[in-house]
Every structure is written in structure tokens, then in C-alpha cells.
């Protein structure tokens, strides 16, 4: 599966410049960053969270992990946990497992982004295809998604 038609049409309709890069299949965002020879801080990853009864998309650099306790404080909820893929993949029928684009607004989801992604001019995001990513200006991503930006991650081990 290549970049979803929905995603391509959306980016093109918003006049967003992006570059598509094809790569071998890898299993983590940090492995993807290494495969592409880019710092883990510019390769985004999506971690889906269940906040009460609601699905929430969190977006962070590949080299970081969710601090669930901090997310509970931000969301003002005690019932917050990281979801398993089988719990949310039905929300993204055109996407490969592990390759969710961080454009939750296209799926009716709130998007929470870690502040550490705001430091670079460009970020890399997955397209829904586990063999390609796109490079996009951070400011275009922020304009399109309008994420809620907080600090809620820790360095991954």
C-alpha cells in the first residue's frame, strides 16, 4: 500500500510541500530513523492512548516514550493507558500496522504532540504505508493538525 489517497489529496488540497522517501520495512520508529540516517528527534511516532472511553493520538519523536503519569495530569483523568494495536487499528482501515500518520484530526481524534517536536524546521511522518515516510515542515504540520502541545514524554531506554 502506498501513501493513502486520502492523505495525498488532503496534503495537496492544503498546498503542503512534502517529500516522499521509500524505505525497507522496520518495526519501530527508532529503527526507521536509523534506516533513514536521521536523528530520532525528527522521526515522529504515534502512540494511541485510551483516555477514559476516548481514543487519543499522541505524537512524539521516535527516541521518546509516553510518560503516562504526566499525560494523566494533562488530560485531567486517572483512566489513561497506552492502547494495543488491535484496539485502534479499525479506526485506520487504509493504514498498515505501525505506520499511522500523525494526522488524527482526519480521523476525528484529538492530537497531543510533545513539545520536543517543535524544535526542528522539518519532521518526518509516516504515511500509512510501512515502506514510506514524508518530510514536511513542522509549521505546515502544526497549521494542518493544530495539535495540543505539551511536554509528556521521557527519553526511551
- Location of C-alpha cell 505546515: 140
Judged on CB neighbours under 10 Å (0-12, 13-18, 19+), 8 is: middle
Instruction: Count the domains in the chain.
Output: 1
Question: What pTM, to 2 d.p., does this model score?
Answer: 0.92
Range of the domain at 110: 5-155
What Rg value do the Cα atoms of the chain yield, rounded?
14
Q: What is the pLDDT along the chain (157 residues), one digit of tens a residue?
A: 455 667 888 899 999 999 999 999 888 888 889 899 998 899 999 999 999 999 999 999 999 999 999 999 999 999 999 999 999 989 998 888 888 999 999 899 999 999 999 989 999 999 988 899 999 999 999 999 999 999 999 988 7
Give dist(CA 98, CA 26) in Å, integer. 9
DSSP-derived 3-state class of residue 56: strand
Please report, for the domain that includes residue 150, its CATH number. Answer: 3.90.960.10
Which residues lie below 8 Å from residue 131, measured CB to CB, with a gap of 6+?
22, 23, 24, 25
Amino acid at each position: 500500500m502506498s501513501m493513502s489517497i486520502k492523505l495525498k489529496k488532503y496534503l495537496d488540497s492544503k498546498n503542503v510541500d512534502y517529500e516522499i522517501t521509500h524505505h525497507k520495512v522496520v518495526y519501530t520508529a527508532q529503527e526507521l530513523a536509523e534506516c533513514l540516517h536521521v536523528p530520532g528527534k525528527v522521526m515522529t511516532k504515534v502512540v494511541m492512548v485510551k483516555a477514559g472511553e476516548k481514543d487519543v493520538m499522541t505524537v512524539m519523536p521516535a527516541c521518546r516514550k509516553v510518560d503516562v503519569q504526566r499525560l494523566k495530569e494533562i488530560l485531567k483523568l486517572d483512566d489513561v493507558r497506552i492502547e494495543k494495536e488491535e484496539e485502534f487499528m479499525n479506526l485506520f482501515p487504509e493504514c498498515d500496522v505501525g505506520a499511522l500518520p500523525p494526522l488524527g484530526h482526519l480521523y476525528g481524534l484529538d492530537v497531543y504532540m510533545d513539545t520536543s517536536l517543535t524544535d526542528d524546521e522539518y519532521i518526518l511522518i509516516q504515511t500509512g504505508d510501512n515502506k514510506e515516510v514524508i518530510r514536511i515542515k513542522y509549521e505546515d504540520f502544526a497549521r494542518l493538525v493544530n495539535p495540543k502541545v505539551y511536554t509528556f514524554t521521557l527519553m526511551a531506554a
